[in-house]
DNA sequence: CGCTTTTTTGAAGATGGTCAATGGGTGTGG
DNA sequence: CCACACCCATTGACCATCTTCAAAAAAGCG
């Protein structure tokens, strides 16, 4: 069992039950490693996806490029995530995937995955569930953009990132490395960079969280959760991460 | 082959190839019919989904209920859609589904579906693709809310609804019945009802479209497409609907 | 026909955007 | 080692958009 197989198994176990046979099946999957420079695209809107990507290190993001040149970030992904699982059964990518900070990915051919799906339907269902959770995260983004003022909107994004990172054991204490620039935050949350900055200041002054120099610090988790009414149910994890370890 | 089976097959054929065996498998599925009054919930946030729903008639919507009482509509669905396919492999619903105007649904137990999936993986992949297209629609909603001013934002929603309806042959000429109230439009597009009304007026005056009394009228499709840079690629349909029939 | 609900319109005010200028790091080359 | 350039973050002033509030008109419905 190599690193990427271990990462994938750990990820799927966060929400699905895997039989020994499923794990054995995953261990037959081979992959290539691809390193991305900060900002580099992994796949672009319009291209035909042929491989699935698994994040091994760093952070990547999905984004749309609009006709007017604007960029809209759709979701952010960390180690264990499958940032282009959404391209599995689809002819052409309707969005792009790029690195946020330097990142390392494992790529697995779709062909191999589908063969495994035929052999182990439960494995397919686990990946399917993964794509459904992705969709649930998109739905939250819709509500976040459509219904929340800037401060809770920003808080919700960081709540989600921190909670997911914590569930995957990627945090250190109350900190998590998030190499997103202010500009990119604005392009994710539909805010101007000025507002992004003022909103981060407000959150800092409230004593709930502090995002600076690519480092997120959660100072008062319950208060932060309350600012945005964050309810992690939508992440559909089997068990909540513990806060006392 | 009954009505609901025919509807499902037609829908899946919009984006997937089905073998005769897949169609035969679908024809073994039995269902119940459920009628919903306007506004009635089909399933609520927090409940455990046990059946999948197929829209036979009318329109239904997914929505979030936020802690502050606000309602955020996430997507709208018409005949042929599977509005809670997102609940297939998930423990609890992270959103609700309600009727927009009176609607009729066919319900199919998840258990039966999964048994069919095991027998015909291609059928499973077609439904999976359906859920991935749903996710793609959510992504567009994110971009719509995050990046577009009110007029193109409204235009984009109606472009999508009309295009999807046309692809499913639910339009009559340039018209399509959309029983959404102004309040609900606002709750979908993150606008106040006053702005919704003024935006509809602006679109009416531009001569591109006219939405009034639950009836959408597309007067100038190319111009409407241009106002919001609508590109239907993200709907992943095998072939575009024809405009000249 | 009177009631409720939905749509329409106006005016005032707040939120967040735009623009422009400043400051702080970091890396490069003289 | 310093000077310069560049990128990113920060801040202020002004302004546009959209919200809120209030009220009237129109449209369904018993």
User: Can you give the pLDDT at residue B209?
Assistant: 95
User: Can you give the pLDDT at residue B243?
Assistant: 58
Confidence bin at A245 (pLDDT 50/70/90):
very low
pLDDT at A26 over 70: yes
| Contact in structure between B13 and B83 (CB atoms under 8 Å) | no
Confidence bin at A238 (pLDDT 50/70/90):
confident
B192 touches strand D (CB under 7 A): yes
Q: From chain B, pick out residues whose CB is under 8 angstroms from the CB of A117.
A: 121
Closest residue in chain A to residue B190, using alpha carbons only? A146
| Contact in structure between B22 and B123 (CB atoms under 8 Å) | yes
Q: Name which of B165, B180, B171, B141 is nearest B81 in CA terms.
A: B165
Q: From chain A, pick out residues whose CB is under 8 angstroms from the CB of B143.
A: 64, 66, 72, 74
User: Can you give the pLDDT at residue A199?
Assistant: 95
Among candidates B88, B190, B234 on the partner chain, residue whose Cβ is nearest the Cβ of A146:
B190
As a whole number of Å, the CA-based R_g of chain A is: 18
The C-alpha of B65 sits at a distance from chain A's nearest C-alpha, in angstroms, of 9
Q: Between the CA of residue A206 and those of A152, A220, B6, what are the distances in Å?
A: 12, 9, 57
pLDDT at A106 over 50: yes
Which tokens go with B216? 């959408």
Integer Cα distance of A72 and B144 in angstroms: 9
| Contact in structure between A189 and A157 (CB atoms under 8 Å) | yes
User: Can you give the pLDDT at residue B86?
Assistant: 81
The C-alpha of A214 sits at a distance from chain B's nearest C-alpha, in angstroms, of 23
* pLDDT mean across residues, chain A: 93
Integer Cα distance of A83 and A8 in angstroms: 12
User: Can you give the pLDDT at residue A242?
Assistant: 63
Integer Cα distance of A148 and A103 in angstroms: 31
pLDDT tens by residue, A119-150: 999 999 999 999 999 999 999 999 999 999 99
Confidence bin at A112 (pLDDT 50/70/90):
very high
**pLDDT, mean of residues B153-168:** 96
pLDDT at B203 over 80: yes
User: Can you give the pLDDT at residue B68?
Assistant: 83
**pLDDT, mean of residues B68-74:** 91
* pLDDT mean across residues, chain B: 93
Long-range contacts of range A219-224, CB-CB < 8 Å, 24 or more positions apart?
A219/A174, A221/A174, A224/A155, A224/A158, A224/A159
The C-alpha of A79 sits at a distance from chain B's nearest C-alpha, in angstroms, of 21
A195 touches strand D (CB under 7 A): no
DSSP chain B: --HHHHHHHHHHHTT----HHHHHHHTT---EEEEE-TT-EEE-TTPPP-EEEEEEEEEEEEEEE-TTS-EEEEEEE-TT--TTGGGTT-SS-SSEEEEEEEEEEEEEEHHHHHHHHHH-HHHHHHHHHHHHHHHHHHHHHHHHHHH--HHHHHHHHHHHHHHHHHHTT--BTTEEE----HHHHHHHHT--HHHHHHHHHHHHHHTSEEEETTEEEES-HHHHHHHHT--GGGG--SSPPPS--
Burial (0-12, 13-18, 19+ Cβ within 10 Å), A159: buried
Say which residue the tokens 């996806």 belong to: A49
A124 touches strand D (CB under 7 A): no
Closest residue in chain A to residue B185, using alpha carbons only? A146
| Span between the terminal Cα atoms of chain A, in Å | 27
| Contact in structure between A114 and A128 (CB atoms under 8 Å) | no
**pLDDT, mean of residues A205-232:** 94
**pLDDT, mean of residues A38-47:** 94
Which tokens go with B156? 């984009």
Bases of chain C with protein Cβ within 7 A: 6-11, 15-20
User: Can you give the pLDDT at residue B245?
Assistant: 45
Confidence bin at A241 (pLDDT 50/70/90):
low
């Amino acid at each position: 069992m190599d690193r990427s197989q271990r990462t994938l198994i750990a990820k799927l176990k966060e929400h699905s039950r895997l039989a020994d046979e499923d794990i054995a099946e995953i261990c037959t999957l081979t992959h290539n490693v691809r390193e991305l420079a900060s900002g580099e695209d992994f796949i672009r809107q319009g291209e035909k996806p042929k491989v699935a990507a698994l994040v091994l290190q760093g952070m990547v993001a999905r984004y749309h490029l609009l006709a007017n040149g604007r960029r809209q970030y759709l979701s952010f992904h960390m180690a264990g995530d499958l940032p282009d699982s959404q391209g599995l059964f689809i002819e052409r990518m309707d969005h792009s995937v790029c690195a946020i900070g330097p990142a390392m990915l494992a790529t697995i051919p779709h062909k191999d995955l589908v063969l495994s799906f035929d052999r182990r339907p439960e494995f397919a269902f686990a990946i399917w569930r993964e794509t459904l959770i992705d969709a649930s995260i998109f739905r939250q983004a819709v509500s976040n953009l459509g219904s929340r003022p800037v401060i809770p909107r920003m808080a919700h994004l960081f709540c989600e990132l921190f909670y997911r990172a914590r569930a995957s054991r990627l945090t250190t204490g109350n900190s998590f490395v998030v190499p997103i620039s202010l500009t990119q935050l604005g392009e994710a949350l539909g805010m101007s960079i000025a507002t992004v900055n003022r909103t981060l200041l407000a959150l800092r002054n409230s004593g709930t969280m502090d995002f600076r120099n690519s480092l997120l610090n959660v100072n008062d988790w319950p208060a932060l959760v309350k600012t945005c009414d964050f309810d992690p149910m939508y992440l559909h994890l089997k068990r909540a991460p513990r806060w006392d370890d």
